[in-house]
Amino acid sequence: MKTITFIGNGNMALSIAKGLKNSYKIEVVGRDRKKLESFEEKLGVHVKKSLLDNFNIEDKNILLCVKPANVEEVSKKLQGRAEVLYSVLAGTGIQKLKDHFNTSAVVRAMPNLAASVGKSMTTLTGDTTYKEEAQTLFNSIGSTRWLANEKEIDIATALAGSGPAYLALIAESLSDGAVKQGLKREDAMAIMRGLFDGFGELIQEIHPALLKDGVMSPGGTTAAGYAALEKGNVRNACIEAIEEAYKKAVKL
């Protein structure tokens, strides 16, 4: 079994490790031994644990899972030259990663929180020598799409990386609306979850515009609700959310 070495032991590292643990050996590197132990406990399999100071990355397959602001500090603590560095850092360009980390190859990956349930939509770009390997690695936490360049992965970060938070806002606000009209909270939550479950499958098969047409009866309830969404400028707010998130990725 191949070993993947995680640098960072936060939310994303744990979500990805959950998907990889049956097909890869996991090694995790962090600043705090207690947090490394807690990572292993949550993962439920044995992992090799090491502290960051002077950690040797020689010939390793590294999965970098720290915050973009930590690149300088973390890179100074490492020794040796990695075989390949996979980075999930939002907005952190390949050149910056190469400037700081000693590695033969770099692949940027942008997973999302659904990695923890094996359903991440992960976008990838970088050294094409590692394209197949990167796809195999990240296919074990969901599905992947290789993109042509870094501009595209920064846009995809806004769409699928941040996307779960945007859909959570929709999920919460629709449920709040149902509670406002008198539905019990637990009923509203159960119905909302069922809605997203079915919608998740439908949207794989049907174009969004046709799905909407299929639901909307002339003079019916959907048309009335839909008009309220348009009045609230939800469409434009979504377009601007992607623009703002993309602009932020470029600035990170």
Ligand X SMILES: NC(=O)C1=CN([C@@H]2O[C@H](COP(=O)(O)OP(=O)(O)OC[C@H]3O[C@@H](n4cnc5c(N)ncnc54)[C@H](O)[C@@H]3O)[C@@H](O)[C@H]2O)C=CC1
List contacts with ligand X (CB under 6 A).
8-13, 30-31, 52, 65-68, 70, 73-74, 88-90, 110-113, 161
Answer for which of 65, 142, 161, 246 binds ligand A1CAB (CB under 6 A) is: 161
- Tell me: is residue 10 an annotated ligand-binding position: yes
> Whole-number minimum distance, CB 113 to ligand A1CAB, in Å?
8
Choose the contact partner of 80 out of ligand X, ligand A1CAB, none; CB within 5 to 8 A by kind: none
Q: Which residue type, as a one-letter code, is found at position 56? A: N
Site for ligand A1CAB in 125-144 (CB under 6 A): none
Backbone angles phi, psi at 28, to 5 degrees: -130, 135
Among 126, 162, 175, 246, binds ligand A1CAB (CB under 6 A): 162
CA atoms of 16 and 34, how far apart (whole Å): 20
Rule CB under 6 A: say whether 92 interacts with ligand A1CAB: no
Enclosing H/E stretch for 148: none
19-78: contacts with ligand A1CAB (CB under 6 A): none
Q: Which does 179 bind (CB under 5 to 8 A by kind): ligand A1CAB, ligand X, none?
A: none
Amino acid at 61: N
Cβ pair 123, 145 in contact under 8 A: yes
Q: Is 111 in the site for ligand A1CAB (CB under 6 A)?
A: no
Helix axis angle, 11-20 relative to 33-43, nearest 10°? 40
Q: Which does 141 bind (CB under 5 to 8 A by kind): ligand X, ligand A1CAB, none?
A: none
Q: Is position 7 annotated in a ligand binding site? A: yes
Helix (H) or strand (E) holding 51: strand 48-51
Task: Calculate the alpha carbon distances from 209 to 20, 174, 199 in Å.
Answer: 36, 20, 13
State in angstroms the smallest separation of the CB of 236 from ligand X.
25
Min. distance of Cβ 122 from ligand X in angstroms? 9
**Nearest residue to 122 via CA among 105, 108, 101:** 108
Look at the block and give the residue holding tokens 């992607």. Answer: 242
CB of 97 to ligand A1CAB, least distance (A): 16
Instruction: Say whether residue 120 binds ligand A1CAB (CB under 6 A).
Output: no
CA 155 to chain centre: 13
Give the binding range for ligand A1CAB (CB under 6 A) out of 35-43, 94-102, 156-164, 211-219: 156-164
The least distance separating ligand X from the CB of residue 115, rounded to whole angstroms, comes to: 8
> For the chain, what is the total number of helices (H) and then of strands (E)?
11, 10
Length of the chain, in residues: 252
Q: The tokens of 197 are what?
A: 């479950």
Task: Point out the annotated binding site.
Answer: 7-12
User: Which residues contribute to the site for ligand A1CAB (CB under 6 A)?
Assistant: 90, 157, 161-162
